[in-house]
């Protein structure tokens, strides 16, 4: 795992992966994270050109413009929204690969309350991440990823588990991790100061 460093450029896009029709499930914690981390500071609007809800925070001082995105497509089609948005916002390099795009998503292989940052790496079976990376030549799209632990339950089918809600104890751990771990990672990547 690499440590996050400040991203350069005038724009950064932060995408909360999930199923917008199932907002309170474990699988949609990436979308919920954007609201929790930004503590009600975002004004979401429909963005029909990329099939998403989006919000913008203008550049200020050293901080670049921040574009927040919640895809409206099912999880396994989130990549279509991400690639369209990256292209529209000019967040692709000369080879058409995404730059300055951060994916915030659930991670089965991390316990609830754990958060990790990675640059690129395997999707580990995550359909939303695969949907994003598969839009580009295999292995060439290096998305910045904020992976939020949801854990596993070996007694429950993975699909049923990720589409279920957190227990009260898990919810408390996850919300604490968003404040204490995910927010500092995003502050570093996006160059925004402590409140």
Residues with catalytic function: 27
Q: What is the dihedral of CA 57, 133, 124, 102, to 10 degrees?
A: -10
Largest CA distance in the chain: 50
Separation of alpha carbons 135 and 130, rounded Å: 9
């Amino acid at each position: 795992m690499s440590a996050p460093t400040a991203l350069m450029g005038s724009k950064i896009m932060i995408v909360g992966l999930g199923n917008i029709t199932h907002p309170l499930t474990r699988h949609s914690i990436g979308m919920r994270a954007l609201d929790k981390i930004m503590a009600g500071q975002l004004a979401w609007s429909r963005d029909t050109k990329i099939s998403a809800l989006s919000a913008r925070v203008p550049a200020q001082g050293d901080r670049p413009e921040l574009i927040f995105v919640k895809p409206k497509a099912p999880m396994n089609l989130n990549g279509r929204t991400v690639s369209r948005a990256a292209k529209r916002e000019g967040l692709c390099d000369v080879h058409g690969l995404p730059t300055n795009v951060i994916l915030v998503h659930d991670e089965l292989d991390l316990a609830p309350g754990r958060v990790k940052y990675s640059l690129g790496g395997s999707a580990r079976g995550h359909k939303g991440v695969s949907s994003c990376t598969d839009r580009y030549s295999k292995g060439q799209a290096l998305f910045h990823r904020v992976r939020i632990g949801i854990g596993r339950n070996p007694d429950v089918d993975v699909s049923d588990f990720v589409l279920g809600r957190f227990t009260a104890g898990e919810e408390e751990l996850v919300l604490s991790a968003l404040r204490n771990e995910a927010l500092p990672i995003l502050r570093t990547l996006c160059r925004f100061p402590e409140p």
